[in-house]
């Protein structure tokens, strides 16, 4: 008797409207995954969802503010109602920070960055974990940053939040390994995303440089001499979550062109 095919994986991605989130959605769709996508950018999210559906993917898309617990709980509940399972969760939604000295960083800006980048990951995992525990299987990938592995001057709020993401990842991995749930963090350096472009433009306007000079200054310390492409980071996301990757958990994986090697 032929073996019954296993159901296609259900992959939840926050911050899916652009950047790493959109790239991951396309990558997982190409593998046949069913997708649960959210973002606060409703228009961008729906544009992505329609393009994926036109290519044959099954997509559930919702506007979600990841700092709101009810919204995060509702997203997981909708995924379970619609698809009946949750196999992979990628907590990708995040905010950047303009280069600012610590003493000039506004408390409200610190609180907002922590709310999205750290609290948002915590709330996501809080509600993603129970159905995975019930299934005794699952993968969670949290998108941190090299700023969560090293010091990052003039990015104190962002670095604090990303260090929190790495800590949350390691604590959850320790707690959930016995449930066959793997939890890892990916720590990219600068990459060709809208977030990076916005940051570079702000820096250029402050310093009076042109955009090319600013980009050169940003990449000067990277041994490979450039920023990452979105696809390079997405490939790492796909591998970290791959069904064949069964024994890796609690890791904070740097995708940084050698930046943390020096």
Q: What is the pLDDT of residues 102-161, one digit of tens each?
A: 999 999 999 999 999 999 999 999 999 999 999 999 999 999 999 999 999 989 999 999
| Mean pLDDT, residues 54-69 | 98
What contacts 24+ positions apart, CB below 8 Å, involve 241-245? 241/11, 241/88, 241/90, 241/139, 241/141, 243/9, 245/182
Report the share of the chain in percent with pLDDT over 90.
Answer: 81
Strand-strand pairing, 59-63 and 88-91 = unpaired
* Residues ≥6 apart with Cβ < 8 Å to 184: 140, 141, 142, 169, 173, 240, 248, 249, 250, 251, 252, 253
Instruction: Report residue 6's pLDDT band, with 50, 70 and 90 as the boundaries.
Output: low
**CATH 3.40.50.720 in the chain, residues?**
10-189+229-250
Q: What is the pLDDT of residues 220-249, one digit of tens each?
A: 889 999 999 999 999 999 999 999 999 999
**Amino acid 4: pLDDT:** 40
Is residue 255 classed as helix, strand or coil in its secondary structure? strand
Nearest to 85 by CA among 148, 119, 24, 132: 132
Which of 28, 83, 110, 158 is flagged as catalytic?
158
Asked whether the beta carbons of 83 and 36 are under 8 A apart, the reply is: yes
Is residue 61 classed as helix, strand or coil in its secondary structure? strand
Give the integer Cα–Cα distance in Å for 44 and 21.
Answer: 12
Q: Which fold has domain 10-189+229-250?
A: Rossmann fold (3.40.50)
What Rg do the C-alpha atoms of the chain give, in angstroms?
A: 18
For the question of residue 158 being annotated catalytic, the response is yes
| Mean pLDDT, residues 75-101 | 96
**Amino acid 193: pLDDT:** 81
């Amino acid at each position: 008797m032929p073996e019954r095919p296993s159901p296609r994986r259900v992959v939840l991605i926050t911050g899916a409207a652009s950047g790493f989130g959109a790239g991951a959605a396309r990558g997982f769709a190409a593998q046949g995954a069913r997708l649960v996508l959210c973002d606060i950018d409703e228009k961008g999210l729906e544009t992505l969802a329609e393009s994926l559906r036109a290519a044959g993917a099954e997509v559930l898309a919702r506007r979600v503010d990841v700092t709101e617990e009810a919204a995060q709980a509702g997203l997981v509940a909708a995924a379970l109602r619609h698809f009946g399972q949750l196999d992979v969760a990628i907590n990708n939604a995040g905010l950047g920070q303009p280069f600012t000295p610590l003493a000039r960083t506004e408390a409200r800006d610190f609180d907002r960055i922590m709310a999205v980048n750290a609290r948002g990951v915590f709330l996501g995992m809080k509600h993603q974990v129970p159905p995975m525990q019930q299934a005794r299987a699952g993968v969670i990938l949290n998108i941190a940053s090299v700023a969560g592995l090293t010091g990052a001057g003039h990015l104190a709020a962002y670095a604090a939040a990303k260090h929190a993401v790495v800590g949350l990842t390691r604590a959850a991995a320790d707690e959930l390994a016995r449930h066959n749930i793997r939890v890892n963090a990916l720590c990219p350096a600068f990459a060709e995303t809208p977030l990076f472009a916005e940051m570079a433009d702000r820096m250029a306007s402050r310093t009076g440089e042109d955009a090319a000079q600013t980009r050169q200054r940003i990449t000067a310390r990277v041994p490979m001499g450039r920023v990452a492409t979105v696809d390079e980071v997405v490939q790492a996301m796909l591998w970290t979550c791959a069904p064949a990757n069964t024994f890796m958990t609690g890791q904070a994986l740097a995708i940084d062109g050698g930046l943390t090697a020096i």
